[in-house]
Amino acid sequence: MGITILEGDITRQSVDAIVNAANSSLLGGGGVDGAIHRAGGPAILDACRDLRASRYGRGLPTGQAVATTAGRLDARWVIHTVGPVYSAEEERSALLASCYRESLRVADGLGARSVAFPAVSAGVYGWPADSAARIALDTVRATATEVDDVRFVLFTDEVYAAFDRARG
């Protein structure tokens, strides 16, 4: 599997699946979640509403992942995953790692060969960038998957630099 680290806008990636750092409601929000919903259009929100009505009425649990259409994005699917809010008092690294593992599991189930990830939980959820990068890269490297092309598409210089350092 090839792993690429890029600074840029994840909504402009041409891949099979774009991973969305969603909130548990699946109904859009800020950061990358809002950007994906805006760029992909109402088809993504409609699909998320259908998921809530059929399976996730109480919301998608933290660390899990589920796929919808990608709407107008240059991708076939959006894989929504709910990252944990960072806490210095409570160890939540396993939940963050689960976001990446479960997203790859969903991608495999869809037959996706290329996936673009944001830095899950490293934005408004407050996860320190260096720790988030290390967990993301270590988890993706350790996960058996049929995905050939994994891209980390990072929106800020700080998060890009953290992933570059963690790349090793």
Quote the DSSP letter at residue 135.
Answer: H
Q: Residue type for 11, please?
A: T
At what angle are helices 42-54 and 31-40 packed, to 10 degrees?
A: 110
CA distance from start to end of the chain: 16
Catalytic residue, from 9, 16, 33, 149: name it. 33
Q: Is the distance from CB of 116 to CB of 10 less than 8 angstroms?
A: yes
Whether residue 130 lies in the annotated active site: no
Residues with a catalytic annotation lie at 33
